[in-house]
Chain A
Amino acid sequence: MGNAKLWGLKKSPWVFHLAAAACNNCDIEILDLITPRWDVERFGIVLVGSPRHADALLVTGVINRKTLPRVLRVYEQTPKPCLVIAIGTCSCSQNIFTPSYNVVGPYDKHMPVDVYIPGCPPKPETMIMGIVKALKRL
């Protein structure tokens, strides 16, 4: 069962986009990936509406106190094995928001992260490169 999921993941990863307290820039660049210039759907990458259908989680934003329980819940709902791809400097290392009273640490403090794609925001080409590198490693 695990092998079938892994095969599906490698050939056509279905991604779920999870944003926790983001400025929306990385999120817009992720949506840009579907538009005609990059068009990742021809590679089989599909944005799904529920974490239960997802092979990979694209996480953005710096987590704040209110969104932490929800983020953890989404991670629990995603069937394993799954890839967690942290997009943007905010999700890799909290960026400039470290002094704030409302932030609770970057994503790798709360869940295992497989790929880090830094940048503010990272260009869509960088994101594709990051996802491909992660898939090749599997």
Chain B
Amino acid sequence: MRRIVPIGPYHPLQEEPEFFKLIVEGEKVVDLEINIGYNHRGHEFISQTLTWDQIPFLVERICGICSDSHPYAYVLAVEDCAHITAPPRAQYIRTIIGELERIHSHYLWLGLAGHFIGYNTVWMWVWRYREPLLDLFELIMGNRNHYAINKIGGARRDILPEDYPKIEKYLDLLEKKNAMFTNAILDDPVIRARLENVGILSKEDAIAYGVLGPTARGSGYACDIRKDDPYDAYDKVDWNMIVFEEGDVLAKAKVRLIECNESIKIVRQCLKNMPDGPIETRVDEIPPGEGIGRHEAPRGEVFHYVRSDGSNMPVRHKVRAPSFMNVASNVVAVKGYSIADAALVLAAVDPCYCCTERTFVYENGKKKYSGQDLLKLSWEKTEKIKRRYGK
């Protein structure tokens, strides 16, 4: 007998219904219906009413977590349209902030994934080590989030040489703690049992649905804008792309954890080789034409397209966040798994999508389980596995 389970993925404490509808038979999920639009605020429409340099402030509020990636891609798009190159010092600054943001975003995901499985300690510890990073952002740019470092033609603020030791000190701390988290998570048999072979997305499906970022790299599909279409300082430093073949939630977690190490490497090299000079070039007008900018955000490729007719406002500004492609692929990734695993699988693509969640299990129109109950189902599964391992 088929039942419908409406469910939402991200924050268990948010409130909006009918985001995802899981259709279950017994305990197994057989189909998924996705219903979005709860976050639609009309950015592309508002962009047509603002001038070129007001738009980075609009666009960083698309998402609060990867709030540097959208202005970065937009600025690259406008620079492509007008054939401008930012000066070298600005390129290095933008790269550093982009990588620090990647660390902050991956840690955020890790904490919430820990909360979903029921390991609240993971959540508290990981977010505790995220705090010095937010303090660093406040030191350099003035705000913990929504920092607005990107500007058409360069960077808005400089990283002063007296701040380099503080960044280095934080990176040293982070390397130690990253090693601790990686070992703790990969060595724990209960966490492995929860994450391994769950939510497998095959490579063919990954390509057909056009998934991006760690979701694709965890399924063996090696695509990373920083290597394929390098921009700013990414081709001037030495780093590796992390790819795993299995396609399950554990592979995606491993990609994210090890990518933090690579980000630390990139930031260290950038600080060592930082050139001197101005941090912006003068831009007088944006000539008619079109431009495309792409940036590897923590969740995948962020794509911006602008069209100009020579005036001070864009004719069209198209924004595509990576979650637009990743969330749609959940339709294949969640089939065949139990309801207790469904919350984890839907969260494994790291939907930066400011979305919804209220979970109810319906049986022929009558409510059976509520949102907190589904989280509890996930926690109960962890407890069962713990007992099996004799903890």
Contacts and interface: CB of A to CB of B under 8 A. Distances in A.
Direct interface between A and B, CB < 8 A: yes
Interface of A: 16-29, 31-32, 35-37, 47, 49-51, 61-62, 64, 66-67, 70, 74, 95-97, 99-103, 120-121, 123
Nearest to A47: B13
B46 A36 contact: no
B124 A35 contact: yes
B127 A25 contact: no
B61 interface: yes
B45 to A, nearest CB: 6
B39 A21 contact: yes
B367 to A, nearest CB: 12
Contacts of B391: none
Classify chain B's interface size.
35 or more
A66 B58 CA distance: 21
A85 B372 CA distance: 23
A62 to B, nearest CB: 6
B16 A17 contact: no
A35 B125 CA distance: 8
B329 interface: no
B17 interface: yes
B385 interface: no
Nearest to A69: B17
B64 A26 contact: yes
B194 interface: no
5 contacts: A17-B14, A49-B375, A50-B370, A96-B57, A100-B43
Nearest to B144: A123
A27 B37 CA distance: 18
Given A25-B145, A28-B65, A67 B16 contact: yes
Interface centre among A17, A19, A123 (most CB of B within 10 A): A19
A16 B371 CA distance: 13
A35 B12 contact: no
A24 B62 CA distance: 9
